[in-house]
Amino acid sequence: MVDIVRHCVYGVLVRLVVIIYGTFHDKMSAVQYTDVDYRVFTDAARHILEGNSPYDRHTYRYTPLLAYVLVPNILLHTVWGKVFFSLVDVLVALLTLSLVNDSTLSVKCALAWLYNPLAIVIATRGNADSISAALVLATLVLLQKNKVVLAGVVHALAIHVRLYPLAFSLPMYLSLQTSNKAKKKTSFLSSLIPNRDQICLVSSCVGFLAFVTGVFYWLYGYEFLYESLLYHLGRRDIRHNFSVYFYMLYLNSHTPDSILQKVVMFAPQALLLLALSFVYGSKRHLLFCVLTQAYVMVTYNPVMTSQYFIWFISLIPPSFPNINLSTSRWVALGALWGSAQLAWLLPAYWLEFRGRDTFIFVWLQGVAFFSANVAVLAQLIRAYKYHERENKKIE
C-alpha cells in the first residue's frame, strides 16, 4: 500500500510538471498545448460567476456541473481545472487498484494507468474525460461490492456528465441476474425479467438522473437539454476527427442527415453493443464487457477525437489479469495502434494549421486507423482469459 501511495504522489508531481510546461508552451507556440475546450470551460465558469448561464458561452455543450467545478479558474488561477482533472486521473489509478482482485497484479495495473503518457497529456491539456473514466470505474467497483443503489446513482451521474456510459446499462443490469439464472441458458426475454437488485439499480439510476436533469432544466431550460444532451446525438465534426465516417460527413456537411446515413453510421455500433451485452453480460465478465463496448463506441463513432480514447484505455489496466497476451504482444498491438494514429496526424496538421486540402488523405488515414482498432479489439477478445483457449498464452 505504501508503494502505491508513493507512486500516486509521483503521478501528481509528473502531472504538475507537465501543467507548468504547458503554460510556458502556450505563451511561446502558435500550436497550443491547452485543449480549446478548456478555454470554453473557463469562459462558461466566468458566466456562472457573473450570475448568467454557462450556455451563454458559444460551443459550451457539457453539463453545468463542469462549469461550476471550474469556477476556481476565475477566482484562484487558470490552471485549477487542469490540476483537478489530474487529481481525478490519479483517482482512476486507485479505482483500478480496487477492481483487480489479484493483489500481486493490482499495483502493476494501477501503475500502468498512473504513468500512461496519453492519460497524462489528456488530463494536463485540460480535458475533462478523466471524470467520466473515474465515474465508470467507480460504478464497476460498487457493483463488485454489491452496493447496487449507490452504483445506480454513480452510473446516473456518469451518464449525466457524458452520454457514452448509457451503453453500459444493459450489461450492468444483466450482471445482477441471480446465480442460478446466470448459470443456465435463458431466453432473451427471460433474461430481462428483473430481480430485486436489478430493480434497485434501475430505479436509483433513473431517479437520480431525472432529478439532476430536472434541476438543471429548471435553472437553464431547454438550452441545457439541447446543448448538453440532444446536440451530441446528431453531432458532426469535419475537423480533428479520426472517424471512418469523416469524409462522408464532410461531403454532406451542408445537408441534413438522411435516414440511410444514420443507419449506416449507427446500426453496426448498436448491433455490436447489443451482442457484447448478451455475450459478456454477467458479473464475472462485466469489466471486459464494458471495455469492449467502450472500444466499439469509440471505433464506430461518427466523431472520434483523442480524448475519446480515455473511454476504453482507462478500462484496459484493470482488465490486464483477464487478457492472456504476452508483453511482446501488448507492445506490438500498442505500436500498431499508435503508428496508425500518428500517420493520421500529418495530413490533419496540413489541413488544420496550413489550410491545405488534405480531406481525402485524412479520411484514408482514418480508414487505416479504424482497421487498426478493429484488429486490436479482435485480439483482445481472442485473448480473453475465460474463453476456451485460456490455458495458452498467445505469443
Rounded Cα distance, 111 and 8, in Å = 9
What's the N-to-C CA distance of the chain in angstroms? Answer: 32
Give residue-wise pLDDT tens across range 268-303: 999 999 999 999 988 899 999 999 999 999 999 888
Query: Mean pLDDT, to the nearest integer, of 377-395?
Result: 69
pLDDT tens per residue, range 203-233: 999 999 999 999 999 999 999 988 888 777 7
CA atoms within 13 Å, Cβ hemisphere of 229: 15
Closest by CA to 157, choosing from 221, 259, 260, 65, is 65
Distance between CA 308 and CA 314 in Å, rounded?
Answer: 10
- pLDDT tens digit sequence for 227-281: 888 777 766 665 667 888 877 777 776 676 667 777 777 889 999 999 999 999 8
Say how many CA atoms lie within 13 Å of 102 toward its Cβ: 11
Q: For residue 395, what pLDDT is reported? A: 41
**174-208 burial, b for 16+ CB within 10 Å, e for fewer?**
bbbbeeeebeeeeeeeeeeeeeebbebbbebbeeb
For residues 105 and 325, what is the distance between their CA atoms, to the nearest angstrom? 15
Give tens-digit pLDDT for 84-120: 999 999 999 999 999 998 777 888 899 999 999 999 9
Top pLDDT among 187 and 383 is at 383
> Which pTM was predicted?
0.91
Q: Which residues contact 166 (CB under 8 A, 6 or more apart)?
A: 159
* The predicted structure's pLDDT at residue 390: 43
Write the CB contacts of 392 (distance below 8 Å, at least 6 apart in sequence): 324
